[in-house]
Amino acid sequence: MNRKMMIAGNWKMNGLTAEGVSLAKEITDKVKAKKRTCEFVVCPPFTLLSLVKKALRGSKIALGAQDCHWAEKGAHTGDISPAMLRDLGCEYVILGHSERRADHKESSALIGKKVEAAHSFGLKTIVCVGETLEQRESGKTIDVCSKQVRESLPEGVKAANTVIAYEPVWAIGTGKTPTPQEVEEVHAAIRGVLTKKLGKSEADKMRILYGGSVKPSNAKEMLSLEDVDGALIGGASLKADDFIAISDNAGC
Ligand code: 13P
């Protein structure tokens, strides 16, 4: 199956104006310097979206946000709506990241509601799932990830508007990664859930990214796996050289 690789950077809560703009410019220059076959996405914090959008001008790098509310507008102090993200030029929004599931007690049901809202405003979603260390050690990885995929995706999602990211919680920011076999096992299980939910044709087209301590040195191994269609990168996306080296090493 010919799925376009995605290299996505999740900047998380990092970057003041000057450094955010200069990182975006550096990434833009490096991406433009060579012909590349993958799709790049950068997801800065809300505060930098407009400035980063400007810095990405003239490149094909897509802009993404890291969360949104499910409502178009209204009395939701401190929240940002999908309509606002569209208005700023976002193409993607990350939803259901484990840091939001943990820090903000987001349930898969709530995430599903956000996914639906994001799609209705023309955003594409990167929907994250992943098990904790405790869940992995007790043999629940496949069950946990399958359940999160089933419950976080509303009816009618398509490969054209949805990307899944498998991010084991214990691999995020720790330097630890699952073995390639473990990654492939979870990705294949997720593809199976998608097949049941959406039918084989959509499931085969939908991209499933791996995230969790991806760096230039492990990019080739992780991104050459059968069901791995790219990476969602945290720490290494904050250095333009590393972010681009991941794509170079993955051969995209
Ligand atoms: P790290 O690449 O820093 O482990 O973070 C992964 C992640 O959470 C991306 O969303």
Q: Which CATH number fits domain 6-12+20-249: 3.20.20.450, 3.30.428.10, 2.40.160.20, 3.20.20.70?
A: 3.20.20.70
Contact assessment for residue 81 and residue 62, using Cβ atoms and an 8 Å cutoff: no
Q: What is the pLDDT of residue 228?
A: 97
Test site for ligand 1: of 233, 242, 243, most ligand atoms within 8 A of the Cβ = 233
Q: What pLDDT, on the 0 to 100 scale, is given for residue 156?
A: 86
Dmax (CA) for the chain in angstroms is: 48
Nearest to 18 by CA among 43, 50, 48, 40: 48
Q: In sequence order, which residues have a C-beta less than 8 Å from that of residue 127 and are 6 or more positions away? A: 95, 96, 111, 115, 149, 152, 153, 162, 163, 164, 165
CA 106 to chain centre: 17
Q: How high is the pLDDT of residue 235?
A: 98
HEC assignment per residue over 144-165: HHHHHHHHHCCCCCCCCCEEEE
Q: Are 5 and 250 in contact (CB under 8 A)?
A: yes
Out of 93, 133, 208, 214, mutate this one to test ligand 1's pocket (max ligand atoms within 8 Å of CB): namely: 214
- 182: which residues sit within 8 A by CB, 6+ positions away? 141
What spacing in Å lies between the alpha carbon of 34 and ligand 1's midpoint? 25
Tokens of 55: 């810095």
For residue 28, the model assigns a pLDDT of: 97
> Which one, of 169, 177, 34, 23, lies nearest residue 97 by Cα?
169
Measured CA to CA, the distance from residue 156 to residue 40 in angstroms comes to: 25
pLDDT at 169: 98
Residue 137, number of CB atoms within 10 A of its CB? 11
* Distance, first Cα to last Cα, the chain: 16
Residues 69 and 118 sit within 8 Å (Cβ to Cβ) = no
Q: Which residues of the chain are modeled with pLDDT < 70?
A: 1
pLDDT in tens, 82-104: 999 999 999 999 999 999 999 99
Residue 162 phi, psi dihedral angles, 5° rounding: -140, 135
Res 2: pLDDT: 85
CA of 12, closest atom in ligand 1 = 10
Cα-to-centroid distance, 232 and ligand 1 (Å): 7
Domain segments of the chain: what residues?
A: 6-12+20-249
What separation in Å is there between the alpha carbon of 67 and the centre of ligand 1? 15
User: Ligand 1 centroid vs 173 CA: distance in angstroms?
Assistant: 6
Active-site positions read: 97, 167
Residues within 6 Å of ligand 1 by CB: 10, 97, 167, 172-173, 211-214, 232-236
Strand partners, 39: 6
Atom 1, ligand 1: residue with shortest CA distance: 234
Q: 3-state class of 108 per DSSP?
A: helix
| Rounded Cα–Cα distance for residues 111 and 164 (Å) | 13
Atom 7 (ligand 1) nearest CA: 234
Closest ligand 1 atom to Cα of 99:
8
pLDDT of residue 199: 96
Rounded distance between C-alpha atoms, residue 212 and residue 233, angstroms: 7
